[in-house]
Amino acid sequence: MPTMNIIQAVNNALRIQMALEPKSIVLGEDVGKFGGVFRATSGLYDEFGEERVIDTPLAEAGIIGAAIGMAVYGMRPIPEIQFSDFIFPAFDQIVNELAKFRYRSGGQYPCPVVIRTPVGGGIRGGHYHSQSPEALFVHTPGIKVVIPSNPYDAKGLLLSCLRQDDPVLFMEPKKIYRASRGDVPENDYTVELGKAKVTREGDQVTLIAYGAMLHVIEEAAAKAAEIGISCEVIDLRTLMPFDIETITESVTKNGRAVMVHEAPQTCGYGAEICSSLYERCMAHLEAPIGRVCGFDTPFPYSLEHEYMPNAARVLGAIRKTLEW
């Protein structure tokens, strides 16, 4: 079985789907001959031609607007937004149009657009190459949000997204684009949407994260184990709709939990997860659910290392829940 990083896994999924579904069209800035600034669409232009792998003019609202028009016409567009920090010119097209098309037309016009976009910090990209705007889209009824944490899931989740009929924001954690490597089958397979994965079992504290932060909580769990604390680690994988059963079961069992993401804390994605857990697990909770998140500041450049949640801070939160 070949070893791939996330970029290669995404590329592999795109190639499989493009070959299988002639209606699929990749479009975006620099996705054609160049193969994307992160190389995720590398080779697709040569293999599938310029009508199906389109270098668009530099305008995100146009990329998403055109993708919507393609989808309602019956194509399967896969637009790329070069950085999720650049998604905001297309915010109206995503929030008011893409996510609402099926609903506002009474089901007449499904809009199966899968937007791929790199997300998150840790690459010394400063404010405009590091943000994590996922909660804004989770708060938008009508669109699904998926963030993989490893190459196997990246491929399987992306193929699942491309084979269902709802719009999806597929966010690729760029800090671990190349760093996360693993065995990825060359064959066609899918990973079910809406299902979290317990990546480590433990019976004291449940740690919940997604994307690049999954690796941070795994590191924290390993450090905790060294000092005799047993942590369960959950990779959410799909943020909307999220897997309420898996997290409820784990937190009910352990009575303690820590939620981690790099987006700002206030009204961040973790707020919803914590609230949902309080509603379901209150009687079993031994301590308030801890949150380790980005601060409520714009994403800093020089102090990025201080801004990003890390294993030490997660370990601190783990201790706090145990000592409460």
Partner 1 sequence: MSAVEVAAVQTDDDLRRVLDDDGKVISGVTVPEVSDEELHHLFDTMLMVRIVDERMMRIQRQGKLGFYMKSLGEEATHLSVFPLRQDDWIYPSYREQGAWFWRGYTIEQFLNQLFGNCKDATKGRQMPVHHSANWLNMVSISSPVGTQIPQAVGTAMGMKASGTDQVAMTFFGEGTSSTGEFHVGMNFAGVSKAPAIFVIRNNGWAISTGTEKQTAAKSFASKAIGYGMPGVRVDGNDILAVIQVANDAVARARAGEGPTLIECVTYRVEGHSSSDDPSVYRNPAEPEAWGPRDPLNRLRGYMKNKRLWTEGMEKEISDRCNDEISKYMALAEAHGAPEVESMFDDVYQDLPWHLKEQKEYLLSQARTKNPHLHN
Please identify, using beta-carbon distances, which residue of 111 and 212 lies nearer to partner 1.
111
Chain mean position to CA 301: 22
Contact 229, 278 (CB under 8 A): no
CB of 117 to partner 1, least distance (A): 18
Contact between 274 and partner 1 per CB under 8 A = no
What minimum distance in Å lies between the beta carbon of 316 and partner 1?
31
- Considering the rule CB under 8 A, would residue 30 count as an interface residue with partner 1? no
Is 141 one of the binding residues for partner 1 (CB under 8 A)?
Answer: yes
Contact (Cβ atoms closer than 8 angstroms) between residue 26 and residue 41: yes
Of 50 and 296, which has the nearer Cβ to partner 1? 50
CA distances from 179 to 1, 98, 190 (A): 18, 32, 22
CB of 5 to partner 1, least distance (A): 31
Closest by Cα among 167, 106, 120 to 148 = 120
Nearest to 205 by CA among 293, 309, 323: 323
In DSSP terms, 182 is beta-bridged to 4
Determine which residue in the list 101, 152, 170, 307 makes contact with partner 1, applying CB under 8 A. 101
**Residue with smaller CB distance to partner 1, 166 or 219:** 166
In the list 118, 125, 142, 173, the residue contacting partner 1 (rule: CB under 8 A) is 142
Is 316 an interacting residue with respect to partner 1 (CB under 8 A)? no
68 near partner 1, judged by CB under 8 A: yes
Query: Would you count residue 301 as binding partner 1 (CB under 8 A)?
Result: no
Tell me which residues are annotated as active site.
Answer: 129
Q: Is 278 in the site for partner 1 (CB under 8 A)?
A: no
Instruction: Determine contact, residues 208/231, Cβ cutoff 8 Å.
Output: no
**Residue 48 Cβ vs partner 1, minimum distance, rounded to whole Å:** 11
Assess contact for 109 and 115: CB atoms under 8 A. no
DSSP assignments along 101-155, one per residue: HHHHTTTS-----EEEEEE---SS--GGGT---HHHHHTSTT-EEE--SSHHHHH
Question: Does 97 sit near partner 1 (CB under 8 A)?
Answer: yes
Q: Site size for partner 1, by CB under 8 A?
A: 48
- The answer to whether residue 202 forms part of the interface with partner 1 (CB under 8 A) is no
Whether the Cβ atoms of residue 117 and residue 209 lie closer than 8 Å to each other: no
Q: With binding defined as CB under 8 A, does residue 86 bind partner 1?
A: no
DSSP string, 8-21: HHHHHHHHHHHHH-
Helix (H, G, I), strand (E, B) or coil at 238: strand
> Which of 67, 159, 277, 289 touches partner 1 by CB under 8 A?
67
CB of 164 to partner 1, least distance (A): 7
Number of residues written out for the chain? 324
| Strand-pair partners of 170 | 116, 146
What are the backbone dihedrals phi and psi of residue 100, each rounded to the nearest 5 degrees, phi first? -105, -10
Using the rule CB under 8 A, is 108 a contact of partner 1? yes
Q: By CB under 8 A, name the one of 46, 165, 203, 286 that touches partner 1.
A: 165
**Least distance from partner 1 to the Cβ atom of residue 199, Å:** 22
Nearest to 248 by CA among 272, 274, 280: 280
| Residue 59 contacts partner 1 per CB under 8 A | yes
d(CA 315, CA 282): 23
The residue within the footprint of partner 1, chosen from 73, 128, 278, 324 (CB under 8 A), is 73
- List of residues contacting partner 1 (CB under 8 A): 23, 25, 51-52, 54, 56-57, 59, 61-62, 64-75, 77, 89, 92-93, 96-97, 101-110, 141-142, 144, 164-166, 194, 240-241, 244
